[in-house]
């Protein structure tokens, strides 16, 4: 499968615990995005990377959230001291952006987080 993959697919944790999610983008894609989606809403942008550089973070991304893409390939999203309001689907997407082209993003299957 050469699509975007995410691990784990489901995570149940207790409030206050730390969780880490992984995303493996399509191999040649240079841009990687993280989104959060709650029921009945569209995905909300959290952050994105161009290669290994984190170029933008949303106001939604509190200090408890941190994302990395150390080698410009896979990325991790960590949530520290989880809260019940963090329960959501966390989606990763990747795209290839040469200059002057239209950008389309391909999504992974998501990690569904439930904080008890």
Binding site for other proteins (CB under 8 A): 33, 35, 40-45, 48, 55-56, 91, 102-110
Task: Say how far apart CA 27 and CA 85 lie, in whole Å.
Answer: 32
* Nearby residues of 19 by Cβ (< 8 Å), 6 or more positions away: 11, 13, 78, 79, 82, 113
**C-beta closer to other proteins: residue 82 or 95:** 95
Per-residue CA distances from 34 to 13, 24, 90, 96, 116 (Å): 20, 12, 7, 15, 23
Least Å from the CB of residue 33 to other proteins: 7
- E strand or H helix that includes residue 40: none
CB nearer to other proteins: give 1 or 103: 103
- Least Cβ distance, residue 81 to other proteins (angstroms): 26
**Shortest separation between residue 26's beta carbon and other proteins, angstroms:** 13
Q: How far is the CB of 54 from other proteins (least distance, A)?
A: 12
Whole-number Å distance between alpha carbons of 108 and 22: 11
Nearer of residues 44 and 52 to other proteins, judged by Cβ: 44
In the complex with other proteins, which residue's Cβ is closer, 4 or 19?
4
């Amino acid at each position: 499968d050469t699509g975007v993959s995410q691990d784990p697919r489901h995570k149940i944790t207790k409030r206050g615990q730390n969780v880490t999610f992984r995303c493996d983008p399509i191999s040649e894609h240079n841009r990687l995005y993280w989104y959060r989606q709650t029921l009945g809403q569209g995905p909300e942008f959290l952050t994105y990377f161009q290669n290994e550089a984190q170029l933008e973070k949303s106001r939604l991304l509190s200090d408890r959230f941190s994302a990395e893409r150390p080698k410009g390939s896979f990325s991790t999203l960590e949530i520290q001291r989880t809260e019940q309001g963090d329960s959501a689907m966390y989606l990763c997407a990747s795209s290839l952006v040469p200059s002057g082209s239209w950008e389309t993003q391909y999504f992974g299957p998501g990690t569904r987080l439930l904080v008890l």
